[in-house]
Amino acid sequence: MFKKMLAVAWVVLVIMGISEKTFAQQKTTPSKDTEAVVEDGGTGPYKAIMAVETTLPTHTVFHPKNLNLFNTKNRLPIIVWGNGACANSPWEHVNFLSEVSSYGFLVVAIGTISEDKTDNRKSTSSQLTDAINWAIAQNNDKKSAYYNKIDVKKIAVSGMSCGGLQTLEVASDARVTTVVVCNSGIFKTPGNGISNMPKLTKESLKKIHSPTLYILGGVKDIAYDNGMDDYQQINHVPIFMANMDVGHGGTYREHHGGEFAKLAISWYKWQLKGDKEAAKVFEGEPAGLSKNPKWRFEKKKIP
């Protein structure tokens, strides 16, 4: 196993559930050979861990702790993740990302866990591509713990808010097999004057070539109008639009990532693992999601 680096204090704080305010006040010293279990490692069949790989120190990796369970017959699909506010840390999304990973996915998020919430360094869309490149390289490296355990033909690019725009910027990558856009949508005015956001136009939507899921926080979500407009303009690939009235913050910080995690996991299981049971959430008239009154949805090109 490659050496992994993570702040020891973060491990303690995750386990103890210390408040965000307290976490922000702590100062930590990075230490090698440490891993963190977020919450209880998730509700899936594979308990997940969070770590920073020495071969990818710019990102945070979530993966099932026991990699020995994976091989050429049971591979880990790749999910790359961009953060809200173009943040260079996934600290807001760790519950969500750990939960997703526990269902047998390799999740590679932009940035590393930091106790400094005032860190203004911003991420770039290219870091999503870096994550894809790294995962593929690890699968091919005989010295890697991930050797021959990653499904390089099943890749999801995903992100929240600004990270959703980063997702849309790299969705044209031919290696991408599905797209998940959360609490986001392309501005009618590119970038809307916010300097760090990708300057996309609605023309970018035409470059999407794989099934796409949008998850929005309802009319109170500041991205609602942009996201719904994206949905109206995407007519060339299968697309599912789900709304839950929780606002822009979603449910990422809730226990096990809340309802957003449940829905995203069903999509990932369907699109990246071919899970027919998970597909029922999105297929049918009405789709299986209709059984959950918390959600309202629309879809195109999905049976």
Which residues make Cβ contacts (< 8 Å) with residue 262, sequence separation at least 6? none
Please calculate the CA angle 171-259-8 and round it to the nearest 5 degrees. Answer: 80
Nearest-5° Cα angle at 17, 15 to 22: 120
Q: Quickly list H helices, 17-149.
A: 20-25, 94-101, 126-140
Determine the Cα–Cα distance for residues 202 and 204; give it in Å rounded to an integer: 5
Q: Is the dihedral of CA 239, 243, 248, 250 positive or negative?
A: negative
Rounded to 10 degrees, what is the CA torsion of 167, 10, 39, 132?
Answer: 30
Rounded distance, CA 297 to CA 241, Å? 5
The whole-model pTM stands at 0.89
Q: According to the model, what pLDDT value does residue 9 have? A: 36
| Long-range contacts from 22-28, C-beta under 8 angstroms, 24+ separation | 23/115, 24/115, 24/116, 24/117, 26/115, 27/115, 28/115
The encoded tokens of residue 25 equal: 């006040």
Strand order in the sheet with 295-300: 30-32, 4-7, 48-53, 59-64, 106-110, 76-82, 150-160, 178-182, 212-216, 239-244, 295-300
List of the chain residues with pLDDT < 70: 1-34, 115-120, 190-195
Residues 125/169, Cβ–Cβ less than 8 Å: yes
